[in-house]
Amino acid sequence: MGNTIKTGILLAGLTVLVMIIGNLLGGRQGMMIAFFFAVIMNFGSYWFSDKIVLKLYRAKPVSEAEAPQLHRWVRQLTQQAGLPMPKICVMPSESPNAFATGRNPEHAVVAVTQGILRLLSEDELKGVLAHELAHVKHRDILIGSIAATMAGAIMMIAYMARWAALFGGLGDRDDDGGGVIGLIAMSILAPIAAMLIQMAISRSREYAADAAGASYAGNPYGLAKALEKISSASKRIPMKAQPSTAHMFIMNPLSGKSMMNLFSTHPPVEKRIEKLTGQHYS
């Protein structure tokens, strides 16, 4: 029930934010247009956010005939977690990473990159898969997918606001000035607000998913070693990822990219490994 309430609050908050941007762009008429846009986005986020994210990263379903070991490992872990079998997708990226999406456990998808399949051993990959299934079990996947879709929409609107500010705003305003300043401020603050929402949603959930994933896999060391390997390899082979979806991955694909670190959606990998193993990581 906790995540259901959180999802409702997220949708309401982002709806208000979209309406404020609409008001800055076009006054009362812009706010009404933004409201209808937000309603459509909320509906689309619930039903189609998983498909949008999967398409964004060109993730393709793989059958049991195509990836028998992968299916066998996921099936074993779902039995441990008490979950239905999710769909399994593979992303055509050499950067090692993974995420889960879907509106509920019955419609869950676990997606992994080609790079992570090549990089990790069996125990390490099981640790990663178990972590993603923990997000499914905890019902983090819907709110994560919605946050990705809505944050992406807010960033797109903010980008439009920056252009509107450059040209003096859109249309006649019934206020006493300051519209351009408001547009500039909102175009800067909206992406920050979207990232802060993602950060609040996901940072604490990563520790919980690490701990639950370790229990499904039978030990914490496979996941701990996987996190270490992914962190190192991601720096050598960066992933082309959208900031609005960074919180969905097992490790932030934007790590090391200038200002993105200020809005990191994940705890430091060293802290995650320490919590998993109970040993200081260096």
**Which residue, among 202, 250, 209, has the nearest Cα to 226 in the 3D structure?**
250
Please give the Cα distance from 123 to 46 (Å, whole number): 34
Identified catalytic residue from 106, 132, 206, 274: 132
User: Read out DSSP for 229-241?
Assistant: HHHHHHHHS----
Q: Is 132 a catalytic residue?
A: yes
3-state secondary structure of 91: strand
**Can you say whether residue 12 is alpha, beta or left, with left for phi > 0 and alpha for psi between -120 and 50 degrees?**
alpha
Q: Are 125 and 73 in contact (CB under 8 A)?
A: yes
According to DSSP, the residues that pair with 91 across neighbouring strands are 113
User: Which H or E run includes 101?
Assistant: strand 98-101
The structure tokens listed for 174 are: 């019934």
- Alpha helices, H only, 57-170: 68-81, 114-119, 122-137, 140-166
Q: Are 276 and 214 in contact (CB under 8 A)?
A: yes
Would you please indicate which residues are annotated as catalytic (active-site) residues?
132
